[in-house]
Structure 1
Amino acid sequence: MSLLNRVKSLPQGFIWGGATAAYQVEGSTKVAGKGKTMWDDYLKAQGRFSPDPASDFYNRYPEDLALSKKYGLNSIRVSIAWTRIFPNGTEQEPNQEGVAYYHRLFKECLDQGIEPYVSLHHFDSPQTLFEDGDWLNRKNSDYFVAYAEFCFKEFTEVKNWFTINELISLAYSQYIQGNFPPNHHFDVTSGIQAQHNELVAHARVVNLYKKLGLPGRIGLIHVIQPIYPIDDAPENIHAAKLQDAFMNKFLLDGTFLGYYSDDTMESINEILRLNDAHLEIEDGDLDILAEAAPQNDFFGMNYYQNQFIKAYKGESTNSFNGTGDKGTSSFKFKGVGEAVKKEGVPTTDWDWNIYPEGLYDSLKRVAADYPNCKTIYITENGLGLKEDQPAENEILADDKRIDYIDQHIEAILRARDEGVDVQGYFVWSLQDQFSWANGYNKRYGLFFIDFATQKRYIKKSALWFKELADTMK
């Protein structure tokens, strides 16, 4: 019996992949010369979660890639752990054991007919650079560019590169929401400065890649979280405009316009003023952005949820739901807005809105507002669930996940039919994995992992993925 519901087929040649990130899947954080990231000591001191063994992808990647092929995937998103290559982030000589590992991984991908799409940075700055200011220290961007150049020249088998994953999520989680180290809350100066500095670092790497004349493609990944006013009240419309500038428009402008529009900076400057914050744009920064803007070959858009916003004038405060205890999250940003729920819009146990219309709106917006944006890939989208371990040969029924993905694929294909150049989809995530501030109870994978034994179990969503993949043959 067919599992297909809304979406009956995929376009020919569609990229149909699974997404991972090095620190969330590899484990083996202390082997083969790997250096510490910003997470290692932090997680140990916190005592809640360990990144080892995660999904043990460091050792079990052949098994996961074989499963990927069996269930119809033709692509995978992986990231290179910077500290496997340069353990302190700054070395002149690379760690050859780390280099050899990624050569083995990429070879296995290609041998299985799985095209690797590779990110250089996915929330895992080297500990030494983190202690020296992370992205707030402009010197660290020099080290990032050097690391990128090494990877481009070394891993010639990779033809699809992303520089940095989710620039806003890193800055927001570190300095606004406070659930990533160094756990600052509403440090607005750092939150906006980190975004800008990351964006300049991205642009420098794109410009370098093009100067090297390499045969592949390069881009970056933004998570887009469309912001809607909760109603038509003027103050709520304005609040949504401010929140959108901070979460989306500032980075989209810098990436694809090569400058920050007057409209965007009006909103950003209002946020800065209301929070006694400032942004420093150095001489030459905008030249770097302008050079890179038309040179991004593709855009990775991550999408999980939208926000509904109403005006808020009080002091900033928030509560992060990292446990799946539904209804425990809150977010109030001084002078900007308060996140609220809308009747009729379902939410996950982690209080994330389930709103596929937001993905359609985001695709249409980027295509309309940013002509320099060429091909778009949805590089992450998926549903985190609490799931019990299945019986020995049981297929885990995750119908909620299938329904969620189905609705979002339908939104993607509708935008595509209306002319948006979206050419692929990577589900988050390929397999269950370590989920940062959420630990291990938030499962996203097509494949269930018993983290104690590392046994893989098939979920119903993997069967659904395979059935849709077969429509491209």
Structure 2
Amino acid sequence: MKRLPEDFIFGGATAAYQAEGATHEDGKGRVAWDTFLEENYWYTAEPASDFYHKYPLDLQLAQEFGVNGIRISIAWSRIFPTGFGEVNQKGVDFYHKLFAECHKRHVEPFVTLHHFDTPESLHSKGDFLNRENIDHFVDYAAFCFKEFSEVNYWTTFNEIGPIGDGQYLVGKFPPGIQYDFAKLFQSHHNMMVAHARAVKLFKDSGYSGEIGVVHALPTKYPYNPADPADVRAAELEDIIHNKFILDATYLGDYSKKTIEGVLHILSVNGGKLDLQDEDFAVLKAAKDLNDFLGINYYMSDWMRAFDGETEITHNATGDKGGSKYQIKGVGRREFDVDIPRTDWDWLIYPQGLYDQIMRIKQDYPNYKKIYITENGLGYKDEFVNGTVYDDARIDYVKQHLSAVSDAIHDGANVKGYFIWSLMDVFSWSNGYEKRYGLFYVDFETQERYPKKSAYWYRDLAQRRVIE
């Protein structure tokens, strides 16, 4: 039996584009995903979970089921339809009403400024590869900090790493470019500069509340720990997905080992970076100002040395065994290991969450506190007799919260857990079959039904005991 702290937050996570729907309603501007989905996928984000209209019901359910924190993102293009310039007052009014409902229901909103949804007018001009968009983001952040003074917890970006990965490596996000490591690392870097500038502005302006960033941190292990080549493959993969952005966050620079790894990857795959002195001045100024780090954790990967050509196949349909991931000069992910995996080939390894938390504590001691801002099981839920008997999800969450408890016991300052997701939502490159929610959503009727996991989570939040 393990007990979680009395002040531990039991949260649920959402994101604007994945939950709100109303993609063209009340003056909202287009985002790149609108066009990308229309041209490349068999679904759209309309109506998603219709959170734009259903948020009072979802927050009522959250309160009834013991969820006392919610991750929400503001859709940038609801506030500034073209990314800058004239403000859309209807969008501003919506978020004021949403945050008021959160507080009415005693569900603390943790608000993200950017969750994969750059306005299309800015995305089409290079997204964060275009340094002008750093300025536009900081201006948008400044507006939100001042306007939404009722918000106590701000996150600048959600998952800078997967944004670069999706846009420029795997190609599953707009603009759908593959295997361009220079763009990937430049995107990571420029977004971290934007983060640092927003954090510095928030602190210099004297706003109350806290601010941080959410990073997706999949843990990387060598397939054969005794093989130096496999160890090297895991280290290089870790640099791509974790260490580069963590160094920028907490060191304000890139360690010698990190930059050597980046230069090796670029030497093999081509390209160069534009890293400017003023960038590092900004990063250094913000490195000790982050009030919290959000960790999104779903999987670990086992890496084997690999010398062939780069080839990545993304499993978008949930056909187990459909994934392939090998990078020239880096390594190859081995999926056929003695570890459970989801239908989408995500390896389920709670120890990886513990190891990632303790790595933050050890390598970046200037961190202040951690929230697990996303963790959950994507599943092809079977709706039976008005509910879902999702024992596999309960077991998944229980194991990961046990790892969190162990990390707290071993000295890490972890203050909360947000299950992805509060209710079933639209999934970026998987559509509507991949469900994560505590509450089942009938996407035809938009009715909500508590799953077995919702009742289990309520009991956990009340007792704070994992058993």
- Tell me whether the two structures share a fold, i.e. TM-score over 0.5: yes
The counterpart of 1:138, out of the listed 131, 141, 145, is: 131
Q: Name the counterpart of 1:194.
A: 187
Q: In 1, Cα distance between the equivalents of 2:209 and 2:267?
A: 42
Q: What's the counterpart of residue 387 of structure 2?
A: 395
Question: After the TM superposition, which residues 329-348 of structure 1 pair with which residues of structure 2 at under 5 Å, given as runs?
Answer: 329-341=323-335, 343-348=337-342
- Alpha-carbon offset, residue 144 of structure 1: 0.2
Question: SS of the residue aligned with 2:215?
Answer: strand
1:456 is aligned, of 444, 448, 464, to 448
- Aligned equivalent of 1:237: 231
Partner of 2:315: 321
The CA distance in 1 between the partners of 2:33 and 2:229, in whole Å, is: 39
For residues 228 and 3 of structure 2, the distance between their equivalents in structure 1, rounded to whole angstroms, comes to 42
Residue in 1 aligned with 2:398?
406
Q: Secondary structure at the match of 1:437?
A: coil
Q: What does the per-residue CA deviation read over 1:47-82, in whole Å, with 9 as the maximum and x for residues that have no partner?
A: 511111100000000000000011111100000000
* Alignment partners' CA distance in 2, 1:372 and 1:286: 17
Residue equivalent to 2:6:
12
Cα distance in structure 2, aligned partners of 1:176 and 1:343: 24
Q: State the match for 1:4 in structure 2.
A: none
Determine the structure 2 residue equivalent to 1:180.
173
What pairs up with 1:368-447 in 2 under 5 angstroms? 368-391=362-385, 394-447=386-439
CA displacement at 1:341 relative to structure 2? 2.5
Query: Is the CA contact 2:335–2:345 (under 8 Å) kept in the aligned structure 1?
Result: no
Q: Could you tell me how far apart the structure 1 residues matched to 2:458 and 2:5 are? A: 14
Distance in structure 1 (CA, Å) of the matches to 2:45 and 2:415: 33
Displacement of 1:472 in angstroms is: 4.9
* SS of residue in 2 equivalent to 1:348: coil
Over the matched positions of the two proteins, sequence identity in percent amounts to 50
- Residue 226 (structure 1) aligned to one of 205, 219, 226: 219
Q: Distance in 2 between matches of 1:321 and 1:187?
A: 20
The equivalent position to 2:245 in structure 1, one of 248, 251, 270, is 251
Moved more, 262-271 or 73-82: 262-271
Please give the alpha-carbon distance, in whole angstroms, between the structure 1 residues aligned to 2:288 and 2:83: 29
1:311-340: CA deviation from partner (whole Å, max 9, x where unpaired): 111111110000000000000111100000
Equivalent residue pairs, number: 464
Summarize deviations over 1:333-374 as a string: whole Å, max 9, x none. 111000002532010000000000000000000011101111
State which drifts further: 349-358 or 183-192.
183-192
2:200 corresponding residue in structure 1: 207
Name the amino acid aligned to 1:438: N
Matched, 1:77 2:57: no
Bigger drift between 225-234 and 349-358 goes to: 225-234
Match of residue 295, structure 2, among 288, 301, 305: 301
2:15 and 2:72 in contact (8 A); partners too: yes
- Alignment gaps of 5+ in structure 1: 1-6
Matched, 1:59 2:53: yes
Question: What CA distance in whole angstroms lies between the structure 2 residues aligned with 1:19 and 1:151?
Answer: 20
Decide whether the 8 Å contact of 1:8 with 1:468 is kept in 2.
no
Task: Name which of structure 1's ranges 309-318 and 376-385 shifts more when overlaid on structure 2.
Answer: 309-318
Helix, strand or coil: the match of 1:248? helix
1:212-260, Cα deviation, whole Å (9 max, x unpaired): 1011100001000111000021111111111111111111011001110
- Aligned-pair CA distance for 1:8: 5.3
Contact 2:66 2:461 in 1 (8 A): yes
- Aligned structure 1 segments of 4 or more residues deviating by more than 6 angstroms: none
SS at match of 1:228: strand
By how many angstroms is 1:389 displaced?
A: 2.8
Equivalence for 1:151: 144
Give the AA of the match of 1:70.
E
Contact 1:308 1:342 in 2 (8 A): no
Contact 1:32–1:97, Cα closer than 8 Å, also in 2: yes
The answer as to 2:100 corresponding to 1:107 is yes
Q: 1:283, CA displacement in angstroms?
A: 2.5
AA aligned to 2:14 is T
Task: Provide the secondary structure at the position in 2 that maps to 1:18.
Answer: strand
Match of 2:304 among 310, 328, 342: 310
Report if aligned partners of 1:389, 1:450 keep a CA contact under 8 Å in 2. Answer: no
Kindly report the root-mean-square deviation, in angstroms, between the aligned alpha carbons of the 2 structures.
1.1
* Counterpart Cα distance in 2 of 1:181 and 1:343: 32
**Cross-structure match for 1:357:** 351
After TM superposition, the score normalised by the length of structure 2 is: 0.98
Kindly provide the CA deviation profile for residues 9-29 of structure 1, in whole angstroms up to 9, marking residues without a partner as x.
432010110000000000001
Stretches of structure 2 that go unaligned for 5 or more consecutive residues are: none
Distance 2:91 2:228 in 1: 54
Matched, 1:87 2:110: no
| Conserved 8 A contact 1:76-1:117 | yes
Deviation at 1:266?
Answer: 1.0
* Partner amino acid, structure 2, of 1:441: E
Alignment-mate amino acid for residue 126 of structure 1: P
How far apart, CA to CA, are the structure 1 residues paired with 2:370 and 2:88? 34
The question of 1:282 aligning with 2:276 is answered yes
Q: Which amino acid in 2 is paired with 1:179?
A: K
Instruction: State the alpha-carbon separation in 1 of the partners of residues 26 and 277 from structure 2.
Output: 41
